[in-house]
Chains A and B, each alone.
Chain A
Amino acid sequence: MTELIKTPRTGETLPVKAGKRTNPLANVFDELVRFAQSRSLFMLHYCTGCGAIELPPSMTSRFDMERLGIQPMVSPRQADILLVTGYVSVKTLKRIILTYEQMGSPKYVIGICSCTVNGGMYWQSYATAKKLNDYMPVDIYIAGCMPRPEAVIAGLRELMENIRQGKADSWKDYYRHYDHYLGHQQRLFGETWQTPTDVIAEARHYGLFGPDTLGTHTALLEQHQRPLEALEMKVDIPELMARR
């Protein structure tokens, strides 16, 4: 079944496929898959702020997150959870957004610490981004300054439960309201901001392209977009020979 959706900016109509499920066992499979997903989570090992100091205790012997099936993972491509542990300075936020866009769906974001909720201690700092929610959808917030390992684990358990029930779908929001998130990112990083990921094409691919995916900000993005060039390398042959 194909739906036609009109984009607000150019007025063109785009076909969007809405999947139709014919397999009678589809719901059973879904539940099984969701259960499996919720019990095997890899979280990205990226310590963004001071809340990260409570993660080693929660991952190691004493609180032992691994018994819940949660393990740290070093590469964003294989990770399921992005933990944002504390304040994010503008320089870090760029990396967080790049990392988030590289992660494969379904992906979940947890904001640890009050600083991700509303700026916390640094509400009047010139260097930090205050609300993480403006730049990427967040599944769970764990407030506290800093939250204890028990709180971190409670938050993760809630996320697991949400995944099992199919409620943790904030990542879809990023595709559906990409224009909104991109607008906030552009406000902070300037209007030439771009990432190597084509979020709009991904939204189409996942069937999550909605009326709010495109807008004035994505138009700006299109205007400034330039293809990334592969890095050129210079080799100084005489110097190399001399070194040898």
Chain B
Amino acid sequence: MRPENYEAQRQPPSHEYELNIGPNHPGIEGNYAFKLRLHGDRVLEGKADAGYLHRGFEKLMEGRLWIQNLAITPRICVPDPVPMEVSYCLAVEELCGLEIPERAQWLRVLQLELSRIAAHLFTFGGHAATTGMYSPMFWGIADRDLVLDLFEELTGGRVYHIYNIPGGVRRDAPDGFLDRVRSTLDYLDSRLPDYDNLLFTNQVFVHRAKGVGTMSREQALEWGVTGPNLRATGLEFDVRRDDPYLVYDDLDFDIPTEEAGDAWARTLVRRKELVQSIRIARQVIAALPSIAGPIRCPIPNPLAWNVPAGSVYTRVESSKGELAWYVVSNGGERPYRTHVRGPSQMHAVQVLEKLSVGCRLEDVAQTMFSLDACPPEVDR
């Protein structure tokens, strides 16, 4: 270091100071920064600093073929990539007027729910770690790996699958796969009481998370909050039920809600969603063997595929909230314009900025993790 840069200078006494959290900080979810102005350990103002993960997705997609874009769509949200793929495929299918075979629809639902389970297990670990408890993180990540093993068997990839394709899915479930899914689900189900003891009824966690980052239902609606964060304020809204896609209207599931709207309620909603996802996945396993038929409808030559002109907006429920693609085609072999409406962009920027005001310094990280924001999707 150059010594002249580090000469001690007498600073006037100050009660107000600025603090940067991130981008290289274990209390930050991924590559993301947050600037705080503090008085003591009370936050006076928070400012999000995004852009560390910007890759220019929307521009990149304009330069690639419709089919090539499939490979980069899951990369927008790393912990929960399947909804990205599925909703992009749904958009292209809607533009082309393709009818997806039923078996493919069920396989997609299976993937979506497994991905939700994996993402929630990951989130619990992160949230617990910000309150100083590291065992849930180890447990959650180890159990998530079992789900990733299933994905690997079905699709060939652990994290990024690129298994969906406009018109269906790439291949059928291998022999015996459904049994293995069933046994993994049984195992996860049997683990839930352990998780309750370790985390959800643990007084350390309850006392730390209760009352942190509280928002009311009106605020949540005003700020564009969706998904589990919205349901934690008591509003029963879920795209799976209110705007059903694929075969969700044939499935039987509840929409868990909580009233408090704080970090504790948000975590509880996810915990209850885990049960519902297991329930949905079990229904899919039960139904799949009786649904015969192709897994993909015929599509034109993907390398010279002119998608009819038009614009669509398709939305799905990801583990973070409502996720949507707005895709415009001018009849060419590349998209004219694509835009992704990600839930984390609202959660990590405006909601986090507002919720952090007035909370204590040590709760900022917890607020961020309880919102389950995903920085790569904020920046794209």
Contacts and interface: CB of A to CB of B under 8 A. Distances in A.
Interface string B355-370: 0000000000000000
Contacts of B52: 48, 89, 91-92, 95
A196 B24 contact: no
Given A54-B159, A121-B72, A45 B53 contact: no
Given A47-B31, A148-B158, A233-B14, A99 B59 contact: no
Interface of A: 44-50, 52-54, 56-57, 60-62, 72, 74, 76, 87, 89, 91-92, 95, 99, 121-122, 124-128, 145-146, 148, 196-198, 201, 227-228, 230, 233, 235, 240, 243
A147 to B, nearest CB: 10
B1 A197 contact: yes
A45 B376 CA distance: 17
B78 A99 contact: no
Interface stretch (B98-106, B135-143, B177-185): B135-143
Contact of B31 (A48, A72, A124): A48
Interface residues of B, number: 49
Given A56-B125, A56-B141, A235-B12, 18 more contacts: A50-B78, A53-B79, A53-B159, A57-B141, A57-B144, A57-B148, A61-B142, A89-B54, A91-B52, A92-B31, A122-B60, A126-B56, A198-B2, A228-B5, A233-B11, A233-B12, A233-B17, A240-B16
B14 A235 contact: yes
A100 to B, nearest CB: 11
B86 to A, nearest CB: 19
11 contacts: A52-B31, A57-B145, A60-B141, A91-B51, A125-B55, A125-B56, A126-B56, A127-B55, A228-B2, A235-B16, A240-B16
A185 B63 CA distance: 27
Given A57-B141, A122-B60, A233-B12, A128 B17 contact: no
B23 interface: yes
A49 B159 CA distance: 14
Contacts of A56: 122, 125, 137, 141
Interface of B: 1-2, 4-5, 7, 9, 11-17, 23-26, 30-31, 39, 51-56, 59-60, 63, 71-72, 75, 78-79, 122, 125, 137-139, 141-142, 144-145, 148, 158-160, 376, 379
A50 B24 contact: no
Nearest to B134: A60
A62 B142 contact: yes
Contacts of B137: 56, 60
A89 B51 contact: yes
A35 B72 CA distance: 42
A121 B71 contact: yes
Contacts of B148: 57
B159 A146 contact: yes
Contact of B160 (A87, A128, A145): A145
Nearest to A198: B2
A85 to B, nearest CB: 9
A52 B1 contact: no
B55 A87 contact: yes
Contacts of B54: 89, 91, 127
A46 B16 CA distance: 28
Given A46-B24, A50-B78, A124 B15 contact: no
The 7 A-B residue pairs with the shortest CB-CB distance in the complex, in nearest-first order: A228-B5, A61-B142, A230-B9, A46-B24, A50-B78, A60-B141, A92-B52
Contacts of A74: 25-26
Contacts of A124: 60, 63
A52 B30 contact: yes
Contacts of B144: 57
Nearest to A121: B72
A99 B52 CA distance: 15
A34 to B, nearest CB: 27
A110 B5 CA distance: 30
A60 B138 contact: yes
A55 to B, nearest CB: 10
A74 B11 CA distance: 28
A60 B144 CA distance: 12
B169 to A, nearest CB: 20
B129 to A, nearest CB: 10
Given A121-B71, A233-B12, A227 B2 contact: yes
Contacts of B122: 56
A165 to B, nearest CB: 30
Nearest to A76: B24
Contacts of A146: 159-160
B42 to A, nearest CB: 11
